[in-house]
Structure 1
Amino acid sequence: MPGLTDKASVPKKRKKSSRDKETAVPSSKRRAVAEDEGEDVMEKLQELEEQIAESRKYYNNIATLISMLNVGESATEPDLAVAVSLCRVFCRLIAGGNLTEIPRAAESEKIIVAWLKERCHEYQKALSAILRQADPSAQITALTLSMRLINARATHISGTETQVWTTGFFKDVFQSMVEARDGQVLQSEFMEKFLTQYEDVRYYTFVQIFEYAEARRSPEVLELLISMLSACDSPPQPDHEFEGFYCKSLQKIKNLVSVNSHKKRAQEAWLAVLRNSISESQRKGLLRIMSHTIAPWFNRPELLMDFLTDSYNVGGSMSLLALSGLFYLIQEKNLDYPQFYQKLYSLLDADVLHSKHRSRFFRLMNTFLSSTHLPATLIASFIKRLSRLALNAPPTAIVAIVPWIYNLLKNHPTCTFMLHRTVRDEEWKAELEAEGMEDPFDPDELDPTLTNAIESSLWEIETLQSHYHPNVAALSRIISEQFTKQAYNLEDFLDYTYQGMLLAELGTEEKMKKTPVVEYQIPKRIFTDRLLEEDGGHDTAPGRMLRELWDFS
């Protein structure tokens, strides 16, 4: 007899929800429905546009379009088709003079113009919100629409050619772009498509950066401002013809076709950034581009002197980076830096030979000391200081120091007395051989003209001739040979690295003439606590000191 069916075990039929009904529709049909809806929306937008262009009685369609834009508090999912439609509407109205108030117009006309201005301002606020909060593709679209609207206002509304750029909508666009959420793509688009392409956009960007950087800003914002200014790497030449304008009507403005005016605005923008709270890494980056990117924009480069002097006085790698900017001002602008060589001499320490900026420093120092009019006592101090530092320097630095010293001795023959000094007095010679002598060089003296280096000798270079690295030892011997070579090219030695030295050794095909000795006595034990009887029980057996210094428990 069959048993009773358990009603609880029988699955109940549930009603299909609206979502289930949608998923039940084939994908091809859903696509067709979506396409039909999209076509309906576009037709509606086109109809609203045409009605606005047809008659004033349809101006309320503008408010309808703004409500369809879907820009609330978040502005994360705006309707870009509506935004494009509104841009076309306002550009037509601006070109037709509908947003320009006529002085003797009727009161009703003034009311209409004021209402249109309010709607346009509302649309501009919506675009700014999209720039700040939307996704990158929507931000780029909003940027393009904003620039078109700015162009229309500057072209067709009299009296606002520069106002829309300085205090008007472009100011809002700039601030929204700088403060945009995840705005890296947007900012790159602005720099690539507008800032570096159009001279009027560049000019007014300088104005906005100056005003924006006057207040204290975060390091992230300052990094963006530095990137914008660095993108404009070369200033216009005195004979430059200004032709690349985004807004053609601005070509008649005198300041925008003046080289000095462009450089003045860039100078103000750079100074505002330099005076802000920049980080140490940003300061180093600015010093790297100072001489070839920043300084050429300045009509008064002496304004950079405080920034460079403060950086130079920091010491270390910061001082090394500030050298090129200071040298640019000294060489190109005839500016004087008091006690320049004394400060340069103080930078010669052990850290500079281990710094990643060592090659840059040697290039600059070679330029600073190239003049044959410098006193021999000054040159001798630099030679002696580097010779002393070479005793503890890495091989990659020594191979640059020795040719550099050779070139200095060749250019300043007076200093060659430091190579070899003959003692003619036999009594003094015997005393020196018996007791030796003290080096007259004073390494603690800060003034390079008072170190007595010219009275000393380069015994350090002779010591390097016994260096463990064969390349360093061979190179150091050039000081002991006749100076037949006119000069060495420092570029062949400055970029010498450990990797290059290793590859040179591994790549050699020469066989070793003698097998190197690795260990002359092989210990029987290292880590054992007790010694075996065959060791004699002495505490001096191999490994005793190691066990005392470390605990291996």
Structure 2
Amino acid sequence: MPALVESSKKRKSSKNAGAPSKRRAVAEDDFTETLSTIEKLENEIAESRKHYNNIATLISMLDVEKSAKKPELAVAVSLCRVFSRLMAAGNFAESSRAAENEKIVTAWLKERCLEYQRALLAIMREADTTSQITALTLSMRIIKERITHIPGAENAVWSTNFKHIVEAVVEAQDGQDLQTEFIEKFVKEFEDVRYHTFGEIAEYAAIRRSSDVFDTLVSILSACDDVPSEGHEFEDFFATPGGKNKRLTSVGSHKKRAQEAWLAILRNNISPAQRKSLLRIMVHHIEPWFSRPELLMDFLTDSYNVGGATSLLALSGLFYLIQEKNLDYPQFYHKLYSLLDADLLHSKHRSRFFRLLNTFLASTHLPAALIASFVKRLARLALNAPPSAIVVIVPFMYNIFKNHPTCTFMMHREIRDKDLAADIEAAGMDDPFDPTEKDPTRTGAIESSLWEIETLQSHYHPNVAAIARIISEQFTKQQYNLEDFLDHTYQGMVEAELGSGEKPMRKVPVVEYQIPKRIFTDRLLAEDGGVDSGPAAFMRGLWDFS
């Protein structure tokens, strides 16, 4: 009996196994029949004008009104071929001498073409990734054919049809791959597409101030980082440019379009996170497109005044405008000095800040009092800084002292008055540095000393203690390469100590090898739950292990 049951199960499972293959065969037959129908309708349109109604049939087969999520891509490709042939044959060209019935046919064909393009836009917005990319390719092909074969259609096509394509790409559902395809295959490849994309994004960002599509707009613009230089020859065009359109071959026109697009983005209601993302790409992706970089001044100064990480990110862009465009910002160093706080040394932008600070303080024309304030503030912050930050601060100070030797009095200053020296030796002195002063030229740091760095020479981390000693040694090294210290982390320093290259111990550490029975005894505790009064009672209880 078990054997009979088993065989029946096998027969049942084999019967079920054949069902999917039958359904697959039926689906393949249906697909083959659909392709045959599409090919027949397409060929009839090519044979005679009397079959133009087949265009409407094909559009109905595309059936995007009910659902654009699962379109018939074979129908969409066939319609693209149909309209491309009709445009190449001149059936879309209008002529004043044409008969009335010819004009009616032309108008009907244009209407069907617009209906087809609207269907492609719906597919781009709602369908799966493969369908979205296919619809984008077909839409761009129609644009190329219209510009190439319809006289005078260039401006209208770029301002209407292409505008709708950009909107569909930006607003597409799960359209990351679609946007990448648009950027890589069209925007970055063809200069006329890039030029008109700038214009459409500027208009889109100015009208629809929504943060939902902010990242998409920024990604499209930032991908266009190949700024044409003076004398650049524009040759890579998607569609043949009109002979009178000088703007497509002008470097100034391209920069102006990009500048307008970025300004429209910057004028949006952007969040703090979005502001930071813009500041990160400011120098390399945004400023090169601006023929008038001073237009960025308001955005950068507002960001610089925010404080925290936002101010750190705004530094490079603001300094570029000051250095290259001679823009005036009198409170630059005052604001820079205020950024030196405890949070800075724990920030993930710490390395970037020190690179910029090294540039800002490099000029030998800066007053010694100003330089001394920065050095003293960093020394004070180093007392509570993580080891990975201290190993950057000390070499940074070394380089500062080499560039500004008038500040070296902070490391060693002889007191010539013997009586005063004796008094200071006996009673000490107050640090003349005022940490609450906001003006770096009036802190009194130049009259102070770097006792903080000498304190760090006894730091618990041996690497920090060793590097802090360079301030007390002769300055025989010309400069330290700051890049060798910027990327240190606390985890990396610990792993270097505990890694495979372990350092041999010079002295065996003292450890407790007798485990005490107890530390606090009953005699230490009072009846009321407190502690016996007096240090003697405390010590008796602490050391009584019996």
Q: CA 1:40–1:407 in structure 2 vs 1: closer, same or farther (change >3 Å)?
A: same
Q: TM-score, normalised by structure 1?
A: 0.88
Residues in 1 aligned to 2:31 and 2:530: alpha-carbon distance in whole angstroms: 93
Shift of 1:149: 0.4
Please give the residue correspondences for 1:70-149 in structure 2 after superposition, counting only pairs within 5 Å.
70-149=63-142
Q: Quick one: which amino acid aligns to residue 87 of structure 1?
A: C
Q: CA 1:397–1:41 in structure 2 vs 1: closer, same or farther (change >3 Å)?
A: same
Shift of 1:523: 6.3
Given the alignment of the two structures, is residue 295 of structure 1 paired with residue 290 of structure 2, yes or no? Answer: no
Q: CA 1:107–1:515 in structure 2 vs 1: closer, same or farther (change >3 Å)?
A: same
Q: Quick one: which amino acid aligns to residue 80 of structure 2?
A: C
Residues in 2 aligned to 1:30 and 1:521: alpha-carbon distance in whole angstroms: 80
Deviations 1:167-209 (A, max 9, x none): x211111111211122122111111211111111111111111
Q: Quick one: which amino acid aligns to residue 341 of structure 2?
A: D
Deviations 1:262-292 (A, max 9, x none): 1111111111111112222221111111111
Q: TM-score, normalised by structure 2?
A: 0.89
> Does the aligned pair in 2 maintain the 1:70–1:77 contact within 8 Å?
no
> What SS class does the counterpart of residue 434 from structure 2 fall into?
coil
Q: CA 1:82–1:377 in structure 2 vs 1: closer, same or farther (change >3 Å)?
A: same
Q: CA 1:241–1:534 in structure 2 vs 1: closer, same or farther (change >3 Å)?
A: closer
Corresponding residue for residue 319 of structure 2: 327
Q: Quick one: which amino acid aligns to residue 496 of structure 1?
A: H
Shift of 1:244: 1.4
> Does the aligned pair in 1 maintain the 2:395–2:482 contact within 8 Å?
yes
Shift of 1:147: 0.5
Deviations 1:5-54 (A, max 9, x none): xxxxxxxxxxxxxxxxx989876665555444333322322222222222
> What SS class does the counterpart of residue 213 from structure 2 fall into?
helix
Shift of 1:333: 2.3
Q: CA 1:424–1:124 in structure 2 vs 1: closer, same or farther (change >3 Å)?
A: same
> Does the aligned pair in 2 maintain the 1:376–1:454 contact within 8 Å?
yes
Identity of aligned residues (%): 69
Residues in 2 aligned to 1:269 and 1:364: alpha-carbon distance in whole angstroms: 28
Corresponding residue for residue 357 of structure 2: 365
Given the alignment of the two structures, is residue 62 of structure 1 paired with residue 50 of structure 2, yes or no? Answer: no
Q: Which runs of 5+ in 2 are unaligned?
A: 1-14, 533-537, 539-546
> Does the aligned pair in 1 maintain the 2:497–2:503 contact within 8 Å?
no
Shift of 1:364: 0.5
Given the alignment of the two structures, is residue 242 of structure 1 paired with residue 234 of structure 2, yes or no? Answer: yes
Q: Which runs of 5+ in 1 are unaligned?
A: 1-21, 546-553
Given the alignment of the two structures, is residue 184 of structure 1 paired with residue 176 of structure 2, yes or no? Answer: yes
Q: Pairwise CA RMSD of aligned residues? A: 2.6
Residues in 2 aligned to 1:180 and 1:485: alpha-carbon distance in whole angstroms: 59
> Does the aligned pair in 2 maintain the 1:251–1:257 contact within 8 Å?
no
Residue of 393, 397, 405 corresponding to 2:389: 397
> Does the aligned pair in 2 maintain the 1:198–1:246 contact within 8 Å?
yes
Residue of 201, 210, 213 corresponding to 1:209: 201
Corresponding residue for residue 308 of structure 1: 300
Given the alignment of the two structures, is residue 449 of structure 1 paired with residue 441 of structure 2, yes or no? Answer: yes
> Does the aligned pair in 2 maintain the 1:345–1:382 contact within 8 Å?
yes
Q: Quick one: which amino acid aligns to residue 151 of structure 1?
A: K
Q: CA 1:466–1:108 in structure 2 vs 1: closer, same or farther (change >3 Å)?
A: same
Residues in 1 aligned to 2:18 and 2:322: alpha-carbon distance in whole angstroms: 78
Given the alignment of the two structures, is residue 264 of structure 1 paired with residue 256 of structure 2, yes or no? Answer: yes
> Does the aligned pair in 2 maintain the 1:216–1:276 contact within 8 Å?
no
Q: Quick one: which amino acid aligns to residue 99 of structure 1?
A: F
Q: CA 1:32–1:513 in structure 2 vs 1: closer, same or farther (change >3 Å)?
A: closer
Shift of 1:341: 0.9
Shift of 1:513: 2.5
> Does the aligned pair in 2 maintain the 1:391–1:464 contact within 8 Å?
yes
> What SS class does the counterpart of residue 220 from structure 1 fall into?
coil
Residues in 2 aligned to 1:410 and 1:24: alpha-carbon distance in whole angstroms: 83
Residues in 2 aligned to 1:518 and 1:509: alpha-carbon distance in whole angstroms: 20
Corresponding residue for residue 3 of structure 2: none
Corresponding residue for residue 417 of structure 1: 409
Q: CA 1:427–1:244 in structure 2 vs 1: closer, same or farther (change >3 Å)?
A: same
Given the alignment of the two structures, is residue 376 of structure 1 paired with residue 375 of structure 2, yes or no? Answer: no
Per mean C-alpha deviation after superposition, the further-off stretch among 511-520 and 23-32 is 23-32
Corresponding residue for residue 230 of structure 1: 222
Q: Quick one: which amino acid aligns to residue 306 of structure 1?
A: D
